[in-house]
Structure 1
């Protein structure tokens, strides 16, 4: 049985993946900067180890004995190629043979305007140059993020500024992304493949908000703005513009540059991708946006 390393195992994606692998009886090495947060996985038989991708020291030891690595993208925009590079180098030295990476839709396009995609593009190149087997999972935008971070405040205020225009995107449930990663890790034939992990339907952002409005019985007015208008909106709620300006005291824990250029990328068609890869790999149809909305609808403003 292959020993599977899961990075970022204290995060939502990593913890869910490690948990599913343990349910299947797989041999799991769970990595986190905060290994104390993995006590529940340790109790279930995971080999819990501390690992910090910012520091190459100790990474090879943390991955020792692993055969496959689920490399979950880290969160710090602009720093991820260095962090992921450290992880890839350590994995290779430790004898890992296959890395499965969570990228983004159209992640191999150097002209993609979203600043976060630049990190994914660089990481994809590192993987292809590593000499290791790889599988790249180009995940679309999580439906859960739309159901919570977008829909809830939009219902509360009754309006939503938006720079995505009429661009389409096939929102995908995080559950389906995790299930796809787990299936790739536990089955053969996925080496050196790239998959588009998407939901079953394409929406414009106004269409996605209209569906939420219909389900909630409350109107949401979409205000179409240009990119500078989106920056002004994020400025008004206290978001910094650049990821490097984020601090623990920053009221909004993400930078507006990432959100604005993500919207630009949707508007310009870079996320207009839909595939049946989830169903082909997992054997199950991906969740609809409506089903994810139903899951979170109880937390929407009354």
Structure 2
């Protein structure tokens, strides 16, 4: 029995979609806050376990009969490390055989500008110390985040203006990562393992501009800027200060080489090549070559 937390979110939903192609729905459980929002999962035959990461009693109930749990990282910046620890503790109390966690592929945790990422490594440390068999999915930055970073379709009018310098990222689609995770989760646990889920090559924002130019037939340029100017630009577009800071931190870390990582793990788990930059951008921007 596999329990997926954050099951109504984008990543958790992608994992469940691909699990349903491989195992009966009766072998899947979804840990959700909103039972009504999760009704489509119930209709598919997935068992719903209702609760929150803060409610340890609901976590204990959710873990009953579970062999593997996938902990999808929470979004509460202030409390999420404690919330993750609550999930790990409940899994251990229930005798869960394996815990999996959606972490991040980053080069050096000690030099990150976006300190929000620190919580991933603290969670990893806690899982490793728990004694549970674990599967860590260190995910590269989603290709799906590119439209938000560069301003959506407005990019075709004003170009790409971000503080990424010459930084490179092995962007991959969230759907490919969800499929790869599902493939890993259906395998019987054979000890603890860490996967770095990245694409087959890295891409700069110059490459993104070139790909959008090729796909759209409209010239798209890339202009590096300073982080402070970019953050002010985001706030000027109406983004909340905290979101603007977070995006600026992500992209500054890209400039510093934090996401310049390539491994074969994603391709190996998929059993095929992950979507390339051009393929992903064509899908994300609804562009047909």
**TM-score w.r.t. structure 2 length?**
0.91
Residue in 2 aligned with 1:128? 128
Residues 18-40 of structure 1: CA distance to partner in whole angstroms, max 9, x if unpaired? 22222222400111111222222
Contact 1:115 1:262 in 2 (8 A): no
Match of 1:14 in 2: 12
Q: Does 1:269 align with 2:239?
A: no
Q: Aligned partners of 2:190, 2:246: CA distance in 1, in Å?
A: 31
Kindly indicate whether residue 283 of structure 2 is the aligned counterpart of residue 281 of structure 1.
no
C-alpha distance in structure 1 between counterparts of 2:145 and 2:250, whole Å: 13
> 2:281 touches 2:287 (CA, 8 Å); kept in 1?
no
Please report how far the alpha carbon of residue 258 of structure 1 lies from its aligned counterpart in structure 2 after TM superposition: 1.3
Q: State the shift of 1:268 in Å.
A: 0.8
C-alpha distance in structure 1 between counterparts of 2:176 and 2:107, whole Å: 19
Q: Which moved more, 1:187-196 or 1:36-45?
A: 187-196
| Separation of aligned partners in 2, 1:104 and 1:71 | 13
TM-superposed deviation, 1:162: 0.8
Describe the shift of the 1:148–1:294 C-alpha distance in structure 2 as closer, same or farther (beyond 3 A).
farther
Give how far 1:149 is off.
5.7
The whole-number CA distance in structure 2 between the counterparts of 1:148 and 1:216 is 18
Label 1:18 to 1:240 Cα distance change in 2 as closer, same or farther (>3 A).
same
Equivalences, count: 286
- Which segments of 5 or more consecutive residues in structure 1 lack a partner in the other structure? 243-254
Q: Distance in 1 between matches of 2:244 and 2:266?
A: 30
Tell whether the 8 Å contact from 2:107 to 2:259 is kept in structure 1 after alignment. no
Measured in 2, the distance between the counterparts of 1:207 and 1:256 equals: 23
- 1:254-265 aligned at under 5 Å gives the runs 255-265=243-253
Contiguous gaps of at least 5 residues in structure 2: none
CA gap of 1:148–1:233, structure 2 versus 1, over 3 A, is: closer
CA contact (8 A) 1:165 1:267 kept: yes
Shift of 1:298: 2.6
Residues 235-286 of structure 1: per-residue CA shift (max 9 Å, x gap) = 21233333xxxxxxxxxxxx12211111111111111101110122231211
Instruction: List structure 1 runs of 4+ shifted beyond 6 angstroms.
Output: none
TM-score, normalised relative to structure 1: 0.88
Equivalence for 1:88: 88
Deviation at 1:42? Answer: 1.3
CA RMSD of aligned residues (A): 2.1
**Structure 1 match to 2:233:** 233
Kept after mapping to 2: 8 A contact 1:183/1:281: yes
* Contact 1:115/1:257, CA 8 A, preserved across alignment: no
| Aligned-partner Cα distance in 2 for 1:131–1:108 | 25
